Structure 1
């Protein structure tokens, strides 16, 4: 069953940067995705991150848009790496960037997709919104048997409903998402089985691999009235290949989420961290790390190696297309190269 767009006129860029303050849903006092007990990060209507700053308002968005002086992107930004054709299974840890924030993790013989987006636009609309400037680093037809799909949150550049529905129809994977996102996913295919968990809960993925949901400094929205009504998360994978830390979107905050992850799970063998969509800083800092933040996060995690994503595929913010990779190189050098950190491109493969 296909889902109709929740909105007809708002731009996708607006949706992913502001999302809407949720006045109508607040007046009704109803959350359309999740009903559960209050907690230290759920007030009965909306979720919130630790020490989360106040939501951006329409005036903030207008201020940004009216003063916007972003660097133009090219229409095409082809990857230097040919599309990967991964093996059906891999005993050794193998990681391929599909594009933006979409990865294939091949871990202990399991094939795990994180935030798979194959849409041409990261948008609720087919004819407007951020358009892909390079093809996926693995063609959909070349995907190996998919055992697991992990969703970090519901923004359109991370939750591509039609793609997840197609994966469900063709592979029947275990689908894992934070609280409330099952309602969104099942609206694309009501036969889909979705396991939802809260922060600090876990799911056994088979093969000795466990996915742990951990906090992230971010937010969620699919429409104009549902801001922060579905949870968001980072993931820690534990298993025979060691600890892997993956963050979809997050601000750095005070660094506590990274220190806490290390204290709980140990230093990761690999950390995959976002490095793009960070300008203007006054608007984006609370929700998206810049490359210097990402290096600091990798150091706090104690990661042996790090991979950078969330850049170079969909233009969401003001920085130029190559600036995240350039800034990452500078930040890594300034911090003495403590953690080897690669700005990944679609089709690029990292091997243990």
Structure 2
């Protein structure tokens, strides 16, 4: 199999990100995290306690050759939106704007947060292969307000875009918060980027805000030899306008991490939950929840409102472009939850999350 064909087969973003480009990217290993053994680190690799390891290459081939992949349009089927956010919000306002995929602009009490920012055309290490975006970012890069904080959940190419991080460093100089080991990937490409590295359970303060690093059931890789050598996480941001729970990628994992987040932190004003990249279930279930599982997680959190992301921008898996939104609406109806409480945002859509009594 030639290199180009291999890349088309293997480089499909967060579901099984595999490095490419130069041979060193495909077959080499990135700088390795070194630290004490813990309940989720064996001294060499991170793991999900009591969880499921990612599928191997044989399963990857079986999936990618199954012939069941839906055909996505070359462009977003709805009218494109392009917005210019306000510079800041204050008071009880909690505003979320969808940029695309897992990239959200969250504005609260003077703080501007970006989650897993990806502005590149492909979620891939190369420009000629890998998942290509079907819609432009809902907030053009030049129209971003001042960015203070970046939440970087893990290193898959649809979440960690080094080119975008370099642009953000030059234009905004934000603080990037990320779990263990990801700084070793980012720093050589973006020297001088301000980074704060956390393990699960770690907490730090940023002015009036507290950022907590939380477990999620996923994995990491950017090359063939660095699987699970950097940590993945979700985040809780606690501030004057309420708590925000943000998950970049996760398998449902029997709801364990949702229950633990609710136990540790209590109520949330907003949950940002992935709803896409979930078919076929035999391959994706351990690492990517589907919309029905996202609704179950929403119920376990007890949050009044949620944003659905991780859909409709990059085709990573087999389901059709509209399938996550349709399935989410059906799951909400089945659970007797009002549609306006859990909104699957499209690029450029902005939502002022209602205050909690």
TM-score clears 0.5: yes
| Aligned Cα root-mean-square deviation (Å) | 1.8
The answer as to 2:128 corresponding to 1:132 is no
CA deviation after TM superposition for structure 1 residue 202, in Å: 1.6
Distance change >3 Å, CA 13–CA 307, structure 1 → 2: farther
Q: Is the 8 A contact 1:277 1:311 kept in 2?
A: yes
Q: Match of 1:196, SS?
A: strand
SS of residue matched to 1:254: helix
CA drift at 1:129:
0.6
- Taking the aligned partners of 2:166 and 2:6, their CA distance within structure 1 comes to 24
Q: Partner of 1:14 in structure 2? A: 10
Secondary structure at the counterpart of residue 11 of structure 1: helix
Residues of 2 paired with 1:141 and 1:78: CA distance?
24
Q: Is the 8 A contact 2:278 2:284 kept in 1?
A: yes
Say if 1:298 and 1:78 are closer, same or farther in 2 by CA, change over 3 A.
same
Query: Partner of 2:26 in structure 1?
Result: none
Between stretches 90-99 and 187-196, larger displacement belongs to: 187-196
CA–CA distance in 2 between the matches of 1:9 and 1:189?
Answer: 30
Q: Distance in 1 between matches of 2:251 and 2:225?
A: 23
Give yes or no for contact 1:81–1:345 (8 Å, CA) kept in 2: no
Answer whether contact 1:18 1:57 (CA < 8 A) is retained: no
Once the two structures are superposed, residues 14-69 of structure 1 have per-residue CA deviations (whole angstroms, 9 ceiling, x without a partner) of 2443356xxxxxxxxx9723100000000000001122213311211121122231
SS at match of 1:96: strand
Instruction: Report what 1:264 is aligned to.
Output: 264
2:160 maps to which residue?
159
Look up the match of 2:221: 221
Q: Does structure 1 residue 94 correspond to structure 2 residue 95?
A: yes
Aligned mates of 1:232, 1:9 — CA distance in 2:
29
Could you tell me which runs of 5 or more consecutive residues in structure 1 were left unpaired when the two chains were aligned: 1-6, 21-29
Name the counterpart of 1:75: 74
Does the 8 A contact of 1:278 with 1:317 survive in 2?
yes
For this pair of structures, how many residues does the alignment match? 337
Query: Would the aligned equivalents of 1:79 and 1:134 in 2 still touch at CA under 8 Å?
Result: no
Q: Retained in 2: the 8 A contact 1:299–1:338?
A: no
Q: Secondary structure at the match of 1:166?
A: helix
Q: Distance in 1 between matches of 2:139 and 2:17?
A: 30
**Residues 16-55 of structure 1 mapped to structure 2, 5 A cutoff:** 16=13, 17-19=15-17, 32-55=31-54
Q: Once structures 1 and 2 are overlaid, which stretch shifts more, 143-152 or 70-79?
A: 70-79
**1:290 Cα deviation (Å)?**
0.3
Q: Give the Cα separation in 1 of the matches to 2:345 and 2:34.
A: 38
Normalised by the size of structure 1, how large is the TM-score? 0.92
In structure 1, distance between residues paired with 2:124 and 2:297: 29
The answer as to 2:292 corresponding to 1:292 is yes
Query: Do 2:54 and 2:286's aligned partners in 1 also have CA atoms closer than 8 Å?
Result: no
- Residue 82 of structure 1, CA deviation: 2.3
Report the TM-score, using the length of structure 2 for normalisation: 0.90
For the pair 1:145 / 2:141, whether they are aligned, the reply is no
Query: What is aligned with 1:116?
Result: 117
Q: Does residue 1:184 correspond to 2:180, yes or no?
A: no
Gaps of 5+ in 2: 19-28
Shift of 1:193: 2.3
Q: Secondary structure at the match of 2:99?
A: strand
* 1:282 alignment counterpart: 282
Residue deviations 1:171-203 (CA, integer Å, cap 9, x gap) = 111111100000111121222221101011122
Q: What residue number does 1:25 align with? A: none
